[in-house]
Amino acid sequence: MRKQTDTREKLLCTAMSLIWQSNYTSVGVNEICKQAGVTKGSFYHYFETKADLYYAAVMHYWEQMKQELEGLFTSGLTPLEQLETLIEMVVGHAQVKEDACGAASGQKVVGCPVFTSGGQCGCEEDKVRLVAQEMTELTIAYDIRLIQGLKDAGLLNGDPDPAQLGRLMYQYIQGLLIYGRIYNDLERIKADLRDGVYRLIDLKQEYRFVAKPACSQVA
């Protein structure tokens, strides 16, 4: 007999995986239950609506992301190494090879499910927009923390405002992920991510990683 905690976990993982590969509006409760291998009765035992499930799934996903981000800042890396590691993390999460439950994913570029879902939902989906706002603020806080470290280390030009740069960096990355998802082409993200972040935060030239020229198809 399936444990209750296992059933709830499976619903959380499956919902996030399906929405990540598609979008919030097109994924229904029936599909989530079918893919999770649970009954609708089990679904409604834990969640009143799809929005309730989505909120819980996003927060479950955030706990994993939080551990990864905290590890980045407690790893002993220099601020510049933290920046480069974060850039690689963005690329890694843009292409989900398997979902949170370990199942293979066929989508090449998926972007950020929270950002896209929050922007797609109508006014009646308050909970979906609310969790998108919460995730945005939580993520930006880490971006600000990173930029503050770069500034304190004297790696940025001028006297930038870390709070504003943190918001701008988040906005730029999310826009780029959507661009990459439109073309389903990870190379388009790779071609512009690092240089775009460098320019946005105005990292001093001598600390910029020199990448290989982008292929012509990305131009």
Q: Answer whether residue 54 is part of any domain.
A: no
pLDDT truncated to tens, each residue of the chain (219 aa)? 445 568 999 999 999 888 877 778 888 999 999 999 999 999 999 999 999 998 999 899 899 889 999 999 998 999 999 999 999 999 988 876 554 454 445 557 766 666 656 555 554 578 888 888 899 999 999 999 999 999 999 999 999 999 999 999 999 999 999 899 888 899 999 999 999 999 999 999 999 987 554 444 443
Name the residue among 89, 69, 102, 77 with its Cα closest to residue 153: 77
Cα–Cα distance, 93 to 110 (Å, whole number): 8
Cα–Cα distance, 139 to 136 (Å, whole number): 5
Q: Answer whether residue 169 is part of any domain.
A: yes
Determine the pLDDT at residue 82. Answer: 96
Q: Answer whether residue 218 is part of any domain.
A: no
Q: Answer whether residue 175 is part of any domain.
A: yes
pTM of the model: 0.82
Query: Per DSSP, which regions of the chain are E strands?
Result: none
Q: Answer whether residue 53 is part of any domain.
A: no
How many distinct structural domains can be found in the chain? 1
User: Cα 121 to the chain's mean position, in Å?
Assistant: 18
CATH code for the domain of 78: 1.10.357.10
Cα–Cα distance, 217 to 219 (Å, whole number): 6
Main-chain phi, psi angles of 10, to 5 degrees: -65, -40
The size of the chain, in residues, is 219
Determine the pLDDT at residue 2. Answer: 46
Q: Answer whether residue 50 is part of any domain.
A: no
- Structural domain of residue 159, as residue ranges? 62-211
Determine the pLDDT at residue 199. Answer: 97
Cα–Cα distance, 62 to 57 (Å, whole number): 9
Is the C-alpha dihedral spanning 46, 133, 63, 61 positive or negative? positive
